[in-house]
Amino acid sequence: MELFRTAKAVTLRSHLDKYLVADDDKETVRQSRNGLSRRAKWLVEGSGHVIRLKSCHGRYLTASDTAYLLGMTGKKVTQTVPGNTSDALIEWEPIRDGFQVKFKTRGGKFLRANGGTPPWRNSVTHDYPNSSATRNWILWDVEPVEVPEVDPVADYLSSLSSFSSISDDLFGSEPPSPMSITATEPFGLSSKRIAMELFHNAKAVRLRSHHDKYLLADDDEESVIQDRSGSSKTARWTVELVKDADNIIRLRSCFNKYLTASNQPFLLGMTGRKVLQTRPGRLDSSVEWEPVKEGNRIKLRTRYGNFLRANGGLPPWRNSVTHDVPHRTATQDWILWVVDIVEIQIQSPNAKPPLQSLSHTDSFASASDSSSPSSVSLHPASFSRQESNDSLENSPPKTEGRTIYYHVADDNGNVDDSAGGHYFTLKENGVFELTRRLEEETGLEDIIVCSRSNLNGKLYPLRLQLPPNNATMHVIVIQASSKAARSFAKPGIP
């Protein structure tokens, strides 16, 4: 694939929005939300139809012959240092599937990101997708990452095709103390940290493009456009910092929807993709932006390497906003933005730290939604009056769908409450849709979704529509082959 001929290092993101990471035990491979960690970066070796992926520990991604669980089909994926690079266990064939990639072993199996309950949760195996509910588990988003070009890294880049071990120097070791941080930081961290300084204390910002137009959330609560009216409340974007990520932000519009890098083409046959306002059921990487400083302006990069771009020219491009990579010199400035801080958040030294903006949850409330005495407005006089007229106080965000709490029962229908439950948000109202979603969440097939009677504690299968008004539900999952399921067929049991 062309992508792997040019990329020196990549990250792999699963259908669960988690990244393939090499654990520090130098053996285990798992999934993690932290895509910025050096453990999530894999060096690419090979330029033919098969590649090898080397971890930050100098070990290769390996399709082992060891069963992940006895009696199950999946086998372990590990990090190893084999005897030679011709070992078939470390070779993977990338196969494009739409916008994503499958990684096929010599044995015909695929790299698979598992979901469900422990021990499957966050595990990685190589296996066949045996059902429609798990067909997406072998699909990965491949994101090229920057490789430092300063010595001693240049020496490593020239030897990527060799079998020598590459140390953590390529990825940057984690400093033992602040004193160990130098001016030349790997992956451009210096410019990223400078860019983030603008947002750390910002409660709300405006973004001004190279056309001297502002990024606006359109009144249809879906589109994002450019307009010269910087005094409008729709030009104001609330800043949310992402937990466990030092250089990632989210931007929330006055409609409590997030600036989103969608997968929808802006025009068929063109490279640019739509930027929208959305309120996803789970906060994923599509609503996350990485500020990168360039001169006195900022670029906002997606996790896929595209940039927030203010288009010019004739309609339909005029005043549109997409995310793309500038391919011509004439459009290089289209991804540059001036950041105007509209309101800052000042913390008292003795105050408790604010609630971190929620990461990958089903609720969109954050600490930045409410005004407090510690908030100081920096509005210019020319537009502070306009903003007060527009009532910029955000109302509490409304959630879409209902929260589903679930447990997986054993063969007899018993639930281990001490193990803790799991939950997700469901927008649909049918039992069929709930069942399909639970199959994806648990990794189980042929299941029955039940509720427990408050009167006698017995399980009863859900048959029709879910309760109205998006009421929260507590359900129990059993398999159709279990003893508990067979009891439903007895007389007197509905």
* Residues of the chain predicted below pLDDT 70: 1, 47, 85-86, 131-133, 147-194, 327-330, 346-400, 417-421, 489-494
Distance CA 419, CA 407 (A): 9
Question: Do 135 and 268 fall within a single domain?
Answer: no
Q: Are 451 and 474 in contact (CB under 8 A)?
A: yes
Distance CA 413, CA 479 (A): 9
What's the DSSP call for residue 383? H
- On whether residue 283 sits in a domain, the answer given is yes
- On whether residue 176 sits in a domain, the answer given is no
CATH (domain of 470):
3.10.20.90
- On whether residue 362 sits in a domain, the answer given is yes
Residues in the chain: 494
> 389, 412, 432 — which closes off a domain?
389
For the chain, what is the largest distance between any 2 Cα atoms, rounded to a whole number of angstroms? 77
- On whether residue 165 sits in a domain, the answer given is no
Question: Do 12 and 147 fall within a single domain?
Answer: yes
Question: Do 79 and 199 fall within a single domain?
Answer: no
Distance CA 340, CA 1 (A): 42
What is the domain extent for residue 195?
Answer: 187-389
Counted domains in the chain: 3
Question: Do 353 and 484 fall within a single domain?
Answer: no
H or E segment and range at residue 460 = strand 459-461
Distance CA 44, CA 4 (A): 7
Question: Do 425 and 281 fall within a single domain?
Answer: no
3-state secondary structure of 338: strand
Q: What is the pLDDT of residue 214?
A: 94
Q: What is the pLDDT of residue 425?
A: 82
Question: Do 203 and 321 fall within a single domain?
Answer: yes
Distance CA 443, CA 438 (A): 8
Question: Do 99 and 191 fall within a single domain?
Answer: no
- On whether residue 126 sits in a domain, the answer given is yes
HSE (side-chain half, CA atoms, 13 Å) at 458: 11
DSSP codes of every residue in 28-81: BEEEES-TTSGGG-EEEE--SS-BEEE-TTS-EEEEEEEESSTTSS-EEEEEE-
Question: Do 129 and 201 fall within a single domain?
Answer: no
DSSP codes of every residue in 170-191: GT-PPPSSGGG--SS-GGGHHH
CATH (domain of 328):
2.80.10.50
H or E segment and range at residue 440 = helix 431-442
Question: Do 143 and 210 fall within a single domain?
Answer: no
- On whether residue 278 sits in a domain, the answer given is yes
DSSP codes of every residue in 291-313: EEEETTEEEEE-TTS-EEEE--S
Q: What is the pLDDT of residue 443?
A: 75
Q: What is the pLDDT of residue 252?
A: 94
- On whether residue 397 sits in a domain, the answer given is no
Question: Do 248 and 381 fall within a single domain?
Answer: yes
Chain position carrying tokens 């801080």: 341
Q: What is the pLDDT of residue 347?
A: 56
Chain position carrying tokens 């989103």: 260
- Whole-model pTM above 0.85? no
- On whether residue 468 sits in a domain, the answer given is yes
Question: Do 201 and 265 fall within a single domain?
Answer: yes
Question: Do 246 and 327 fall within a single domain?
Answer: yes
> 139, 157, 175 — which closes off a domain?
157
Q: What is the pLDDT of residue 149?
A: 41
